[in-house]
Amino acid sequence: MRGRPVSADPLVAALCAVLGRDRVRDDAAERALLAHDASVFAGGAAGPVCFPTSTEEVRAVVRIAASHGSAVVPRGAGTGLAGGAIPLGRPVVVVTTKMNRILEVDRDDRIAWVEPGVVNLDLTKHLRPLGFHFAPDPSSQQACTIGGNVANNSGGPHCLAYGVTSQHVLALDVVLPDGEVVRLGGLDAEPPGYDLRGAFIGGEGTLGIATRIAVRITKNPPAVRTLLLAFDSIEEAATVVGRVVAAGIVPAAMEVMDRGITVAVENFVHAGYPVDAGAVLLVEVDGPEAGTALDAERIAEIGRAGGATSVRTAAGEEERALLWRGRKTAFGAVAQIAPSYYLHDTVVPRAALPQVLRAVYEIAERHGLMVVNVFHAGDGNLHPLLLFDPREPGTLARVHAAGREIVEVSLAAGGVLSGEHGVGVEKRDYMPLQFSDVDLDHQNRLRRAFDPACRANPGKVLPSGHSCADIQSLERLPAGVWA
């Protein structure tokens, strides 16, 4: 506690008694820093910021917050894009990044126990010499944490074949909003009772805080082949995606980038992406050597029949890694084009990709915005980036209006609000566009079963009339206010 005076605030003092003064921050600078995440949403207001290192410390923090009438917001690396980690109403912010240990790896049963602050890519790096990896691979995997992946049920390029986070989590130790510690799920093939593990994953911190996570680890495939196909138009690339899957091939990944983002990526990584192409399709197949070779040949044939102007196969691991580095750094590469962007996350049926993409370009043009597209084409998960300069008057209103229209077009095509980024505050007020009042009521009942007092990440996911936002006194901006 040397150098940091004890706070006169009873809540802060109680937290310091458990964690020590160095792991409780209540200065204005720290609270302002953690009032944001990687989204464009503004209006957060953090209370005391805590850095626990164990389940017992998280439990103590949650109980102290409850005894002082404070809400609690869990936070990982802050890479979320839907505002799910933005604190509303000055809650206690529980940062789990110091809980970053890989506790156990069982190669026989293919399970690893980890803490929520373990960085996604660090887990795979730890497993790689053992012949395994963690399959969910968000583009932010160099920074995002497993706890955040659980909160948002994150995906990534390779989730086309391997599935999103929920398919790779077997059990969780969770501190509930009243401070009770429970285990959800289990290591048995069919744990008894309701699937509360499945209910918790994707709960965006509204159901409690995961402190230990049992994840399924995946055996590294014996062979991998990565293809890069170039097309004159993004519609051709999107159409070929559907034809590949219709042919009975399920690649590990299928990613599409349009010309704008391809040029930016190539300028950044120099991987040999064709900058004159209207769009590129990055496809990866893995498995036994003979099977991957056959699949790669068939994909190349389907691509050429669908208008591919070139087909390139990565010659080795170095070239493959460089191609994927380009895809994984695409969002950062757009800084060459504009100072800011709003990244959307909707999902549409594969057959609807061409028409929805045409609509996205039309929406952006009508609102006087530039848009580039990079997305998980195999499962129809769109990621249009609306590029803008926030210093230009009126720009934010146009960005917000265009974003809503993209949501509406996606839903009209039979899609859903989010594939992997979550709802948070970004899509909270769009929930009635997809769900009926009865649907939302049942979602709220589930939330209340975990959190009767509505103290866990209030103001998120569920819209007004169905939400804890109506119970907690929250300091927040009106719907539609953006950074």
- pLDDT tens profile 441-461: 999 999 999 999 999 999 999
Closest of 383, 327, 384, 377 to residue 353, by C-alpha: 377
CA 50 – CA 65 distance, rounded (Å): 11
Residue 129 token pair? 């010499």
Q: What's the average model confidence in pLDDT over 204-224?
A: 98
User: How much is the mean pLDDT over the chain?
Assistant: 93
Q: What's the average model confidence in pLDDT over 222-234?
A: 97
Starting at the edge strand found earlier in the chain, the sheet holding 181-185 runs: 102-106, 111-114, 209-216, 169-175, 181-185
Q: What's the average model confidence in pLDDT over 348-376?
A: 96
Q: What is the pLDDT of residue 3?
A: 53
Tokens 């045409």: give the residue. 358
Q: What is the pLDDT of residue 143?
A: 96
> Same structural domain for residues 262 and 230?
yes
Residue 55 token pair? 């389940």
Counting every residue written for the chain, the total comes to 483
40: confidence class by pLDDT, cuts 50, 70, 90: confident
Q: What is the pLDDT of residue 5?
A: 65
DSSP notation for 25-94: E-SHHHHHHTT--SSSB-------EE---SHHHHHHHHHHHHHTT--EEEESSS--SSSTT---SSPEEE
Map residue 190 onto helix, strand or coil.
coil
Q: What is the pLDDT of residues 299-321, one digit of tens each?
A: 999 999 999 999 999 999 999 99
Question: Which residues 6+ apart lie within 8 Å of 189 measured at CB?
Answer: none
Give how many domains the chain has, as a whole number. 5
**Residue 4, pLDDT above cutoff 90:** no
Domain that holds residue 383: 338-412
Map residue 281 onto helix, strand or coil.
strand
Map residue 323 onto helix, strand or coil.
helix
- Per-residue exposure over 232-263, b if at least 16 CB sit within 10 Å of its own CB, e if not: ebbbbbbbbbbebbeeebebbbbbbbbbbbbb
How distant, in Å, are the alpha carbons of 95, 161, 343, 458 from that of 462? 23, 30, 21, 9
Residue 218 token pair? 């995946």
> Same structural domain for residues 180 and 76?
no
CA 208 – CA 186 distance, rounded (Å): 17
Which of 121-130, 190-199, 213-222 is least confident?
190-199
> Same structural domain for residues 293 and 402?
no
Among 193, 219, 245, the domain-final residue is: 219
> Same structural domain for residues 90 and 180?
no
> Same structural domain for residues 325 and 343?
no
Closest of 374, 366, 362, 358 to residue 264, by C-alpha: 374
CA 258 – CA 275 distance, rounded (Å): 10
Q: What is the pLDDT of residues 370-424, one digit of tens each?
A: 999 999 999 999 999 999 999 999 998 999 999 999 999 999 999 999 999 999 9
Please state whether beta strands 72-75 and 92-95 pair in parallel, antiparallel, or not at all (unpaired).
parallel
> Same structural domain for residues 457 and 434?
yes
> Same structural domain for residues 246 and 311?
yes
Q: What's the average model confidence in pLDDT over 212-233?
A: 98
Question: Which residues 6+ apart lie within 8 Å of 179 measured at CB?
Answer: 59, 60, 62, 63, 66
In a domain, 80, yes or no: yes
In a domain, 479, yes or no: no
**What's the pTM value of the predicted model, to 2 decimals?**
0.93
> Same structural domain for residues 214 and 182?
yes
Q: What residues form DSSP beta bridges with 174?
A: 182, 210
> Same structural domain for residues 342 and 327?
no
Among 77, 95, 113, the domain-final residue is: 95
Phi, psi of 181 (to 5 degrees): -105, 125
DSSP notation for 111-146: EEEE-TT-BHHHHHHHHGGGTEE-S---TTTTT-BH
> Same structural domain for residues 359 and 263?
no
> Same structural domain for residues 229 and 294?
yes
> Same structural domain for residues 348 and 319?
no
Residue 249 token pair? 């091939």
In a domain, 445, yes or no: yes
Contact 44, 87 (CB under 8 A): yes
CA 136 – CA 200 distance, rounded (Å): 17
CA 207 – CA 209 distance, rounded (Å): 7
Q: What is the pLDDT of residue 190?
A: 83
CA 147 – CA 75 distance, rounded (Å): 9
Q: What is the pLDDT of residue 476?
A: 36
Residue 128 token pair? 């790689």
**Residue 31, pLDDT above cutoff 80:** yes
